[in-house]
Amino acid sequence: MNEYHYKYGNTPYSTQSYNQGNGFEERPRVPIIKVNKPIVTYVLIAINIIMWGLLSFISSKTGESYNELLMLFGAKINIKIIQGQYWRFITPIFLHADITHLLVNCYSLHAVGTTVERIYGHTKFLVIYLIAGTLGSILSFVFSINPAVGASGAIFGLLGALLYFGVEHPRLFRAFFGRSIFMILAINLGYGYVNKRIDNFGHIGGLIGGFLASGIVKAPFNGKWYLSKATYIILILAILASGLAYGFNYGNNNALLMLEELYKHDQNQNWNEAVKIGQDILDLKPTNKNINIEVLWITAKAEVITGKYNEAVEHAKTLVKLSPVNGHYLLGIIYYDLGQLNLAKEELLKAKALSSPYPNIDELLRKIGD
């Protein structure tokens, strides 16, 4: 059986099959094209460009760096979200790190968005885009403490919308998209995995959000379980509830909030409080390397000042495993304070060999002598 497909541009419109024995076999037409002009896609592209232009203009007029303005205007910053700025779940999808980031995402949005908007219509397309972008920010909030901006999570959501289209119309999906969608996803997720600057959690969250949002806006309530609106509503609510509960109460975000308090104790020289909260953070076993480095450094310093040298040495040795240059330097300082000059010299020389940024190493080595 051969199939003939009618399409608008690269987008499927309806199908009609040809039976070699009986001629054309009529089937119900599938209402694929909802709108001809993808207006919302162009509006979103315009908003992205306007926001980049606005921040660049403000930066040039005020002298404030573009990156600082990104933080001010709504980048995903976990500690700010924990402190109540929940709007940062949605605003990052309209901000971009630089002109290259902007152009790549605008091109991708045009390439995918025009097709998805024609299939789903203006309103449903916008709902899918916003839900996908928001869920991408939420998964990034849960699993990554790094600041993030960019429309890529929402764009991955549009790919998720095409995957949902494949669930509803598998034959059309194979004919017009086929394995190309899966190849695009594999390449982009793979590249995001090896490039540490890319927030893959945001991409995965957006992909899931776009797929589920498509089911919510498109599936009937009384269809098969995998084509039922209720299924997608339950799934997305479960992901949102569990993700937000974990993000606000456990994991690295909880440690990040406590780290802010540790910084205040360090700045105010409340050393006993710093020792206590530092140990509390370490007991949480945060998985983020940078959090552990910061906490170990401040805690060991506070322990030295409060005379807890044994604990300080153990924490400094742990720091060596995570950041050798900082760990060896800190161990050298501790041993120097303890009068164990041979050990101090050994550790300071190791730090110097690693191109330590601390300027007083040579002075300490001269004081130790031979």
User: What is the pLDDT at residue 180?
Assistant: 75
User: What is the pLDDT at residue 23?
Assistant: 41
Note down pLDDT in tens along the chain; length 370 residues: 333 232 333 334 333 333 444 443 444 444 567 777 899 999 999 999 999 999 999 999 999 999 999 999 999 999 999 989 999 999 999 999 999 999 999 999 999 999 999 999 999 999 999 999 999 999 999 999 999 999 999 999 999 999 998 888 888 877 777 777 777 787 777 767 777 778 889 999 999 999 999 999 986 666 677 778 889 999 999 999 999 999 998 888 989 999 999 999 999 999 999 999 999 999 999 989 999 999 999 999 999 999 999 999 999 999 999 999 999 999 999 999 999 999 999 999 999 999 888 888 888 888 887 5
Which residues of the chain form CATH 1.25.40.10?
A: 252-368
User: What is the pLDDT at residue 85?
Assistant: 95
Structure tokens at 296: 């170990």
Which pairs count as long-range contacts for 72-77, CB under 8 Å and 24+ apart, including other chains? 75/147, 75/148, 75/149, 76/137, 76/140, 76/141, 76/147, 76/148, 76/149, 76/202, 77/147
CATH classification of 252-368 is 1.50.10.10, yes or no?
no
User: What is the pLDDT at residue 226?
Assistant: 73
Which residues of the chain form CATH 1.20.1540.10?
A: 39-248
User: What is the pLDDT at residue 242?
Assistant: 94
According to CATH, the superfamily of the domain at 39-248 is Rhomboid-like (1.20.1540.10)
**Residue 13, H or E segment:** strand 11-19
User: What is the pLDDT at residue 21?
Assistant: 42
| Catalytic residue IDs | 152, 203
Give the phi and the psi of residue 18 in degrees, each rounded to 5: -115, 120
User: What is the pLDDT at residue 221?
Assistant: 66
